[in-house]
Amino acid sequence: MTSPNRNLNGCPTNPGPSNSEVFQSPSPLPNSGRIRLFSPEGDRSALATISLDTTAVDLAKAYEVDSIYLQIGNLHIRNLSPRARPLFILREFLASLGHSETAIRTRGTDLKFRHLIAFFLGRPVLQPNSVVRSEILIAACDVRKGKLVHRWSRHKCLLYNGCLRIQKETGEDDVLSLARCRVDVCETRRGRCLRLQNSSSIVLLRFDDPETLTMWSTRCRQSGHHRVCDLSDRKLTLLPEALLCTDFSDIQQLNLRRNSLSARSTSSTPSPAQVGWLDDLTRLVSLTTLDLSSNRLSTFPTSVTQLMNLRKLNFASNCIQTLPSNVKLLKRLTSLDLENNWISILPTHLTECDQLIWLNLKFNRIKQVPEEVLLKLPHLAEWCLAGNYIETIVIDQPTAIGRLDLRRTSLSGCFRLPSSCFDQLTFLDIRDNCSVSTVHLTNMPSLQVLHCERLQLTSLHLNGQNLTHLHAHHNMLDCLIIMPVPLHLVFIDISHNNFDSLPDWLCDLPQIDCLRVSNNRLSALPDRIFAAASMRYLYCKNNKIKSLPDPVENIGLVSCVVYGNQLTELPREFFRKCSRFALIFNGF
């Protein structure tokens, strides 16, 4: 990379040496410093000495490029605004990582920082080995179209963008799309040939050497009919032109996760790129699945709403604040993932996407349950609202959902749910709401799985009619009220609480498989605890247990963890009666 020395804002710009050269120059002035600028391919770089006031547009003019691009964390790439100051950005970024001012000035341009922060002269290009290839193969070969009655003839052939072009000396060239061709290698009287066959024609190509045959057959297969295209983690800032050609218009599944794509800018500054924006996705009319997660999108691309065949759409981990009203056009949408965005309100237009089965709203900025939308989506099986700012649940209409996820929200005080509205609820997750002190769900007979760990629970009241799994560890419970007795309970974890004793009904559970009561204040286990024939795992470490109850014959325990107690001996014939043991920790 070379560029003539220029003067930017009174400070000289020195492109500096390549990676392999040693840079030697006086220490930069207090208000100036060096930054490393990479070529669009990322394989070359140069050092430039600029001032703190040098802007991105100054650098772009000096190096005769359209703009300067910034990449953070070897992942997302963005176009710096014209007024952005690269040296200031570099120093602020390294300072935020804890580097001293001296280290920033002397080491901020080291190549080892490439994975943390990098500036590019122009738009970074698509990485090699993409599944969408645009490079051209050219070869002179013998060609036969049709079957035996046709003659062989010598032509120059080109393979690019999923098309085979057979050049002719007179007349128009023959063009064959590989999108729906069957590609194989066959034997003929002239030797091994590449055969391309679709519903209306057959083309045979005989090359001069086997290496060319192998290369062309491989490329033809790669350029053939693709219904699934994975372009994730390619550092793309634009969609590849080859993806947008007509031969790829029947792609059904497109993965663009973890890139830096964007819609065409509406600013007054024109962009040199004509195609490759998210606006151009409208060409892929057959798309049914689209993944645009982790692209740092600040707005919902309205062009996506024109993809009428979409069924699955993933916009997770972006910076989207609102949904456009045209989202209602996605009538066939069954799955919409909006996790980890900045959404605070759902538009009522979303209710017209009435085929939605999965709507993921986790980790957004929603303050109230958007019942006016969720209740009008009849096929939703789960409300995914974890990680929002919801403080209370105020629902006055019945819903058919079976799962409710409210972990890491802003719930507090006493948690209840109206049974008339959630009479089909089987799964509830309210863990990690550190201000919840009481849970009363005795009116929820349908509940099967409850996650209420890491709260501040001092009182837990449940309906045990269908309860199968209870996760209530890391609370302040000293008693557990479940009525009726949970005869279907398979798993219970009440470790890290304040229990002095355990309820006797634990011994009468016919399906219990795992009991976790570690890190409590237990001085003894229930006398009949080993009578629970189905129990295989017992964890009661770090209590004050002085002795274990006598086990019955042939108990089903596989693992019994009891270290950190005050045991001095085990019951007589304990190991004989626990013949299925695979693991035991005693800690006398």
- pLDDT (tens digit per residue) in 482-536: 999 999 999 999 999 999 999 999 999 999 999 999 999 999 999 999 988 899 9
Q: Are residues 211 and 234 in the same domain?
A: no
How many domains is the chain partitioned into structurally? Answer: 5
Given a cut of 90, whether residue 181 has pLDDT beyond it is no
Q: How confident is the model at residue 287 (pLDDT cuts 50, 70, 90)?
A: very high
Predicted pLDDT of residue 426 = 98
345: domain CATH number is 3.80.10.10
Predicted pLDDT of residue 110 = 83
Q: Are residues 380 and 398 in the same domain?
A: no
Q: How confident is the model at residue 12 (pLDDT cuts 50, 70, 90)?
A: very low
Give the tens place of pLDDT for each residue, 48-77. 999 999 999 999 999 999 999 999 877 788
Q: Could you say which DSSP state residue 340 is in?
A: S
Please tell me the least confidently modeled range out of 45-59, 100-114, 209-223: 100-114
Averaged pLDDT score across all residues of the chain: 87
* Contact (CB, 8 A) for 292 and 320: no
Among candidate residues 344, 365, 385, the one where a domain is terminated: 385
Q: Are residues 22 and 156 in the same domain?
A: no
Give CA–CA dist 448/494, Å, rounded. Answer: 16
Give CA–CA dist 536/529, Å, rounded. Answer: 12
Give the tens place of pLDDT for each residue, 122-164. 888 755 444 455 568 899 999 998 766 678 999 999 987 778 8
Instruction: Give me the sign of the Cα torsion angle 275, 281, 285, 286.
Output: positive
Please tell me the least confidently modeled range out of 87-101, 264-278, 289-303, 455-469: 264-278
Among candidate residues 86, 121, 156, the one where a domain is terminated: 121
In a domain, 181, yes or no: yes
Give the tens place of pLDDT for each residue, 223-249. 765 677 888 988 889 998 878 865 566
Q: Are residues 18 and 99 in the same domain?
A: yes
Given a cut of 70, whether residue 27 has pLDDT beyond it is no
* Contact (CB, 8 A) for 474 and 493: no
In a domain, 1, yes or no: no
As separate numbers, helices (DSSP H) first and strands (DSSP E) second, the chain gives 6, 34
Q: Identify which has the larger pLDDT, 448 or 33.
A: 448
In a domain, 207, yes or no: yes
Element (H, E) at 221: helix 210-222
Given a cut of 50, whether residue 575 has pLDDT beyond it is yes
In a domain, 480, yes or no: yes
Among candidate residues 169, 193, 222, the one where a domain is terminated: 222
156: domain CATH number is 2.30.29.30
Phi first, then psi, for residue 212 (nearest 5°) are -65, -40
In a domain, 491, yes or no: no
Instruction: Calculate the alpha carbon distances from 264 to 40, 236, 275, 301, 303 in Å.
Output: 20, 14, 9, 10, 10
Looking at residues 295-313, what average pLDDT do you find?
Answer: 96
Q: Which domain holds residue 435?
A: 391-486
Q: Are residues 517 and 583 in the same domain?
A: yes
Longest C-alpha distance within the chain, in Å? 101
